[in-house]
A and B are shown apart, each in its own frame.
Chain A
Amino acid sequence: MSGSLDAYLLLAGALFSIGVFGFLARRNAIAMLMSIELMLNAVNLAIVTFGAFVPALTTHASVIALMVMAVAAGEATVGLAIVIAIFRNRRTPLVDEYDAMRE
């Protein structure tokens, strides 16, 4: 089981699906950002899995996973800063109350 590509890929798929559900269903902007982090981690897991099972890709996969991690850190920084900036104006973290452009 721990030596099968399918198990790890299914784990990554399940994690990604959970992230998709959270992103679509949660009302809180920060919960949506956390769901995005879950999805990014699922993709990273898939990358590292292919690296572990295809010998020619092993070190490349680790390098790419590290790059993805760095970009995800930048995304989290800017995303949370945007949420805090919006919260300062609208006084709510709930995304369905951000309706200024609908009126």
Chain B
Amino acid sequence: MTIPATVPVLGWAWDDLLFLGLAGILLGAALLVVLGRDIIHSGLWMMLCFGALAGVYALLGAPLVAVAQVLVYVGAISVLVLFAIMLTQSKAGPLRLVFHRQAWVAAIASIVLFALFVVVVAEGDWPQRAAEVTRTATDQLARLLFNDYVLPFEGVGVLLLAAVIGGVYLAKRDPGQGGSL
């Protein structure tokens, strides 16, 4: 059985359908992260949002970035965030107001920001508006990463070590201080 060249009923290219589906999931999940009342659900929607973004990366021809997105965001950061949520849930927390009282100002600000983005994208003098997506060759990426970018690469390694040590230091309980966390 062969897959038809375009989507059977709609007549779109498969990539367009994939893009629309992933973009819909991405934006819907992001909105639920921001608007949801229960913060645990927000954390779970964030995982879905990051997974859809990994799909968009794959669509853009960057497979290594997509895999790293799944490993780092869906796998590591989301779990970290969920643990932090569970450590900081107070009984009164979820029942009370989720947003600040001035949330409508934030809504206006973000809508204005999005309108600005639309204007910039529409008016900007971009090099190529529509083109074939260029795929990233992973062997070239590795060669670039370990030749031209080797100093930033090592710097990122040191930064991650510092972040891990700093995180442990900040979050560990002082020996003198009791408390039940």
A interface residues, Cβ below 8 angstroms from B: 1-11, 13-22, 24-31, 33-35, 37-38, 41, 44-45, 48-49, 51-55, 58-63, 65-67, 69-78, 80-85, 87-88, 91-94, 96
Contacts of A25 in B (CB 8 A): 34, 99-100, 102-103, 106-107
The CA of A6 and the CA of B159, in the complex, are separated in Å by: 34
User: Top 9 closest A-B pairs, CB basis?
Assistant: A13-B117, A74-B163, A24-B106, A22-B34, A2-B15, A21-B110, A81-B170, A17-B114, A25-B103
Among A5, A15, A20, A27, the residue within 8 A (CB) of B97 is A27
Return chain B residues, CB-CB under 8 Å to A15. Answer: 26-27, 30
Task: Please list the residues of chain B having a beta carbon within 8 angstroms of any beta carbon in chain A.
Answer: 12-13, 15-16, 18-20, 23, 26-27, 30-31, 33-34, 39, 42-43, 46, 49-50, 53, 56-57, 59-62, 64-65, 68-69, 72-73, 76-77, 80-81, 84-85, 87-90, 93, 96-100, 102-103, 105-107, 109-111, 113-114, 117-118, 121-122, 126-137, 140-141, 144-145, 149, 152-153, 156, 159-160, 162-164, 166-171, 173, 177, 179, 181
Most chain B CB within a 10 A radius of its CB, from A2, A8, A58: A2
Distance from B175 Cβ to chain A, minimum over Cβ atoms (Å): 14
**Contact of A53 with B166 at beta-carbon distance under 8 Å, contacts A10-B121, A15-B26, A41-B73 already known:** no
| Cβ–Cβ contact B27 & A13, under 8 A | no
Complex contacts, A70 vs chain B, CB 8 Å: 72, 156, 159-160
